[in-house]
Amino acid sequence: MKATRIMNASCKQIQQLIQENVLEDIYQSSGKRISVDKLSAPFEYQKTLKNRMGKMGKVKASIDELSTYAYQASFFSAQGKNTLRYTWKVIDEGHVEVIYEEAYEANTKANDWNFHLMSFLYKRNNKKRMQTVLQYMEDALKQQAA
């Protein structure tokens, strides 16, 4: 699934925002502060997440890519692998197109079939949630600029 938004920002601002959020997530999950220069792919840590049914579970988070124009992370659970990816590119001076993508790879055929069925049923909600994520990102960029 994919969502796109054009934002009033530079690539550097988006990269910094994502780095700050990743560092904060690592701190919240592990209690350890790390510096930006130690944050490079591959970087792994344990995280507790709530699934869509409201249950808490531990996952292994892996930062697969963190560059000037992209960020990708994978989350491994007993059910499979969730991947989220942000890419961004300059549209013109002061405007950047941000693309947010999510993917899921199930560990069994039954989980895969269930995922596709639920994705079909909740497609609208998922699109709305992804647009909300991009809106939060844009709001954070505006707040930094102020």
The per-residue pLDDT for range 18-55, each reduced to its tens digit, is: 899 899 989 998 888 888 888 877 888 888 877 666 77
- CATH number of the domain located at residue range(s) 2-145 in this protein: 3.30.530.20
The answer to whether residue 68 scores a pLDDT higher than 80 is: yes
Q: Find which of 53-57, 73-77, 142-146 is predicted with most confidence, using mean pLDDT.
A: 73-77
pLDDT for the residue 69? 92
Other CB atoms within 10 A of residue 125 CB: 10
Angle, helices 109-121 vs 123-145, to 10°: value is: 70
Contact 59, 78 (CB under 8 A): no
**Of 133, 141, 131, 132, which Cα lies nearest the Cα of 95?**
141
Confidence of residue 146 (pLDDT cuts 50, 70, 90): low
Domain ranges of the chain: 2-145
Confidence of residue 7 (pLDDT cuts 50, 70, 90): confident
pLDDT for the residue 52? 62
Contact 141, 20 (CB under 8 A): no
pLDDT for the residue 11? 86
75-129 tens-digit pLDDT: 898 778 889 999 999 998 889 999 999 888 777 776 666 655 666 556 677 778 7
Average pLDDT over residues 64-78: 89
